[in-house]
Chain A
Amino acid sequence: MFTAFLIKYGEIGIKGKNRYMFEDALVQQIKYALKKCEGEFSIRKTQGRIYVDAQTEFDYDETVERLTQVFGISGICPVVYVEDEGFEKLCETVVQYMKDVYGDCDKTFKVFARRARKNYPLESQEICMEMGGAILNAFPEMKVDVHNPEIKLNIEIREKIYIYSEEIPGAMGMPVGTGGKAMLLLSGGIDSPVAGYMVAKRGVKIDAVYFHAPPYTSERAKEKVVDLARIVSKYTGPIYLHVINFTDIQLYIYENCPHDELTIIMRRYMMRIAEQIAQETECLGLITGESIGQVASQTMQSLAVTNEVCELPVYRPLIAFDKEDIVTLSKKIGTYETSILPFEDCCTIFVAKHPVTKPNLGIIKKHELCLSEKIDELVQTALDTKELIIATEN
């Protein structure tokens, strides 16, 4: 029965003169989200509103699901369009609409009318009253409640007449692409995809970098990361995933530095490499899934030591999250099942039994000097041989 969706957007509405940029970005994101949906849609931007009109038959549930994945949307209202065939006919249609949508009809309601086409014979107030009466007649169980109605029935008189009453909550946030671009350090774990999702929700486009360590990590571990990027791309649009072969750097650190500092030094090199790719690809910051105290490399001291190598800001949206909350979010966005597949990632393969938890920057720097002979060359080779995978939904 529904043939269109009214898209409500929260935060964009308060933007000033550049509001159109946000709206255009939202239209782009909606188009991308609906590309894989069954059916054809046209997207209209009129009078501070966005409408998604179905041009053909479409799958309602699938379409709604897609729309709830678009950042920047606060609510999605399924709309019925009807031709203006006189007010009496409209009342009949609305009664039928109520029956179809609410079945029993024993709820409280209020009619909101808006007369955009001023030559309509009834005024807004009259429409509300008459329509309310017609509904009360048809459904004796229903009551009007003008303060706190369960059903907010909207009747808008335009070229056609729009009827809608339901609002499905949207993903909120800002349209992707309105906030610049950042480089996500994506591992195969639970946290980093969630971190990417959260920053993308603020309108940031995401690129990603993954550190691959064959033969210590398998081809399947890489596949898993590509799969994770694909899932996140449902929300963010295509993700450019840079795959860095990290084995030689890792082995070189292993041979020349104390083992309990291996992870922290390794992470410093990961950050350095990520930053370099970020700068080449015009990213304005790095994103990690770190959370204070989760593991040895994520204590305040370790984070400070890792952070020290970067000039770009490092965004850590999960910094104060408990693991359980992160898991809940990852289940919600659909990455959890993939994240828990048991493939080893490069952070765990050589991990010491007791890695340092309170690294001292001076000592770490001193130990990094032991790498000076070959490390620049190895980093350069890793950058030169990086592989680019564009992760999009299948």
Chain B
Amino acid sequence: MEVYLDNSATTACFPDVAQFMTHILCTDYGNPSSMHRKGLEAEHYLKEAKDIFARILKVNTKELFFTSGGTEADNLALIGCALANHRSGKHIITTKIEHPAVLETCGYLEKQGFEVTYLPVDEYGVIRLENLEKAMRADTILVSVMHTNNEIGSLQPIMEIGKLIKKINPKCLFHVDAVQGFGKARIYPKKMHIDLLSASSHKIHGPKGVGLLYVGDKVKIVPINYGGGQQRNLRSGTENVAGIAGMAMAAQKLYDKLDEEVIALYELKQYFVEGLSKIADTQVNGYTDGRSAPHVISFSVKGVRSEVLLHSLEDKGIYVSAGSACASNHPQTSKTLMAIGLDKSLWDSTIRFSMSVFTTKEEIDYTLNTLYDMIPMLRRYTRH
């Protein structure tokens, strides 16, 4: 049996999305900037895709930009806004548990003379509004907070954060990295005071190499790459028409049935967590109910190294990811696991399960039974 529980890393592409893309790549392959009919045809796919996203997010089509993925969307949002607004101030606020696409970009901006405040999180991986309020300054130009954490699935109170920022300083921009949240939750930038929002295609059963950045129409932003001036000069480069159309189709499919799928995922997660809790000396990190993402489970197994557990599960056809990718000589401990105050002995003993709409109860049962057999056996052999 093959059980893929690494959907926060990437997901299987919907077959009809792949088929649709093949048609665009091989038949309607025009460049949307070309003046002839083939170009117009390609442009239609882009328009259609924008219409879909505009409906899902309840935003204007001209506020949507396509990138090469979540990382580029985050980079464009942060660097583009920092450069465009540095005269109003050079202070940026983010959290300690952001994805490297945000954290590393902030590190780069620090080298460029910006100042960055990294907000702590509580043991459930959630920031406190009073900490944000304290961190806000007159020269704060941008706040970037992720919607759903990729390692432990914690959810941030996006709406409250948005309100608070705008109450203190209506000019301060609010960016949300929704790479893990898009496709799992309804996110409305206008209602939630979000100025910029990043999403990625391959996390929602679309192709790799495509991402989305929503940029509110009043936001001051400059491009970070230069060229032919496509996408209203903000993101030059011939549009990845097939990828964009594929991402839109995947998103449409998810949002058509979002409520029932999310309920089903929460039920599955509940069932999974209950099963996991029967294993002695283990713990599930963060919230496990509706206060967390429906698809992510962070699981620590005392006395078993995550890499070993991962490969043992792989051997049984179960694919997961290690909470912190780590080898004995190069410890790269996960910043998120450190930030939630997880016991040091568990940093290297934590794995992540992440489910998708394809995950079934049978697969969870198989995984649980495998773990029941495997963990006692692995605990017999440990490093001394």
Q: Which residue of B lies closest to A355 (CB)?
A: B384
A215-B330 in contact (CB<8A) = no
A20 within 8 Å of B (CB atoms):
no
CA distance A69 to B3 in the complex (A): 47
Q: List 28 A-B contacts (CB under 8 A).
A: A214-B315, A215-B308, A215-B310, A215-B314, A216-B308, A216-B311, A217-B311, A218-B307, A218-B311, A219-B311, A254-B381, A255-B380, A259-B384, A342-B327, A342-B329, A342-B330, A344-B307, A344-B327, A344-B329, A348-B328, A348-B329, A349-B308, A349-B328, A349-B383, A350-B381, A350-B382, A350-B384, A353-B384
Residues of A within 8 A of B315 (CB): 214-215
Contact of A352 among B307, B328, B380, B384 (CB under 8 A): B384
**Is A116 positioned at the interface, with any CB of B under 8 Å from its CB?**
no
Chain A interface, DSSP helix/strand/loop, else mixed = loop
Min CB–CB distance B304 → chain A (angstroms)? 11
Q: Is A343 at the interface (CB under 8 A from chain B)? A: yes
A370 interface residue per 8 A CB criterion: no
B312 at interface, CB cutoff 8 A = yes
Of all chain B residues, the one with the shortest Cβ separation from A250 is B381
Contact with B along A230-264 (1 / 0, CB 8 A): 00000000000000000000010011000100000
How far is B383's CA from A251's CA once the two chains are assembled, in angstroms? 12
In the bound assembly, the distance between CA atoms of A215 and B314 in angstroms comes to 8
Chain B 258-273 per-residue mask, 1 if CB under 8 angstroms from chain A, else 0: 0000000000000000
> CA of A62 to CA of B340 in the docked complex: distance in angstroms?
53
Residues from chain A with a CB closer than 8 A to the CB of B311 are 214-219
* Chain B stretch 335-384: residues in CB contact (< 8 A) with chain A: 380-384
Q: Is A21 an interface residue (CB 8 A)?
A: no
Give B282-337 interface residues, CB cut-off 8 Å to A: 307-308, 310-312, 314-315, 327-330
User: Which chain B residue lies CB-closest to A348?
Assistant: B328
Residue numbers in A under 8 Å from B384 (CB-CB): 259, 350, 352-353
| CB of A351 closer than 8 Å to a CB of B | yes
Q: Which residues of chain B are within 8 angstroms of A353 by Cβ–Cβ distance?
A: 384
Interface size class of A (residues with CB under 8 A): 10 to 19
A259 to B314, CA, bound (A): 28
The interface bits of chain A over 312-343 (1 if a CB of B lies within 8 angstroms of the residue's CB, else 0) are: 00000000000000000000000000000011
Residues of B within 8 A of A217 (CB): 311
B383 adjacent to A343 (CB under 8 Å): no
Given A214-B315, A215-B308, A350-B381, 18 more A-B residue pairs with CB atoms under 8 Å apart are A214-B311, A215-B310, A215-B312, A215-B314, A216-B311, A217-B311, A218-B307, A254-B381, A342-B327, A343-B327, A344-B307, A344-B329, A348-B328, A349-B308, A349-B383, A350-B382, A350-B384, A351-B383
Instruction: For B329, list chain A residues within 8 Å (CB).
Output: 342, 344, 348
Which B positions have Cβ atoms within 8 angstroms of A?
Answer: 307-308, 310-312, 314-315, 327-330, 380-384
Please provide the 10 A-B residue pairs with the shortest distance between their CB atoms, ordered closest to farther: A215-B311, A342-B330, A342-B327, A215-B312, A259-B384, A352-B384, A344-B327, A216-B308, A218-B311, A215-B308
A344 engages B314 (CB within 8 Å): no
Residues on the B chain within 8 Å of A219, using CB: 311
Residues of A within 8 Å of B327, CB to CB, are 342-344
> Which of chain B's residues has its CB closest to A254's CB?
B381
| CB neighbors of B among A341-381 (8 A) | 342-344, 348-353
* Residue numbers in B under 8 Å from A218 (CB-CB): 307, 311
CB distance from A255 to the nearest CB of B (A): 8
Docked complex Cα distance between A219 and B308 (Å):
12
Complex Cα spacing A216 to B378, Å: 10
- What is the bound-complex CA distance between A342 and B307, given in angstroms? 12
| Given A214-B315, A344-B328, also A350-B383 (CB < 8 A) | yes
Bound together, the chains give a CA A255 to CA B311 distance in angstroms of 21
Distance in angstroms between the alpha carbons of A219 and B327 in the assembled complex: 14
Which B residues are CB-close (under 8 A) to A216? Answer: 308, 311
| Identity of the chain A residue whose Cβ is nearest the Cβ of B314 in the assembled complex | A215
C-alpha spacing A89/B277, complex, angstroms: 92
Closest Cβ neighbor of A251 among chain B residues: B381
With both beta carbons as reference points, the residue of chain A lying nearest to B309 in the complex is identified as A215
A214 to B328, CA, bound (A): 16
Q: Complex formed: what's the CA distance from A342 to B381 in Å?
A: 22
The CA of A349 and the CA of B310, in the complex, are separated in Å by: 15
Residue of A nearest to B311 (CB): A215
By beta carbon, the residue of chain B nearest A215 is B311
Contacting residues of chain A (175-192) with chain B, CB-CB under 8 angstroms? none
CB distance from A46 to the nearest CB of B (A): 53
Inter-chain CA distance A351–B384, complex, in Å, is 7
- Provide the bound-state CA to CA distance between A216 and B327, in Å: 11
With A and B bound together, what is the CA distance between A120 and B267 in angstroms?
97
Distance in angstroms from B27 CB to nearest chain A CB is 35
Interface residues of A in 284-324 (CB under 8 A from B): none
Give, as a whole number of angstroms, the nearest-CB distance from A278 to chain B.
Answer: 29
**Which residue of chain B has the shortest Cβ distance to A217 in the bound complex?**
B311
**Shortest distance between the CB of B382 and any CB in chain A (Å):** 8
A259 to chain B: which residues have CB within 8 Å? 384
Residues of A within 8 A of B328 (CB): 344, 348-349
Shortest Cβ gap from A297 to chain B (Å): 16
Binary flags per residue of A64-94, CB closer than 8 Å to B gives 1, else 0: 0000000000000000000000000000000
Shortest CB distance B375–A (Å): 13
CA separation between A20 and B381, bound complex, in Å?
57
A334 to B85, CA, bound (A): 46
- Taking the closest CB of chain B, its distance from the CB of A1, in whole angstroms, is 41
Closest to A349 in B: B383
Shortest C-beta distance, B93 to chain A (Å), equals 33
How many Å lie between the Cα of A342 and that of B332 in the bound state? 11
Q: Please, how many angstroms separate the alpha-carbon atoms of A259 and B327 in the complex?
A: 21
Q: How far is the CA of A342 from the CA of B328 in the complex (A)?
A: 8
The residues of B that contact A349 with a CB separation of less than 8 Å are 308, 328, 383
What is the distance, in angstroms, from A108's C-beta to the closest C-beta of chain B? 52
Roughly how many angstroms separate A351 CA and B311 CA in the complex, as a whole number? 19
| Docked pose: A352 CA to B327 CA in angstroms | 16
Chain A 212-232 per-residue mask, 1 if CB under 8 angstroms from chain B, else 0: 001111110000000000000
Name the distance in Å between B325's Cβ and chain A's nearest Cβ: 9
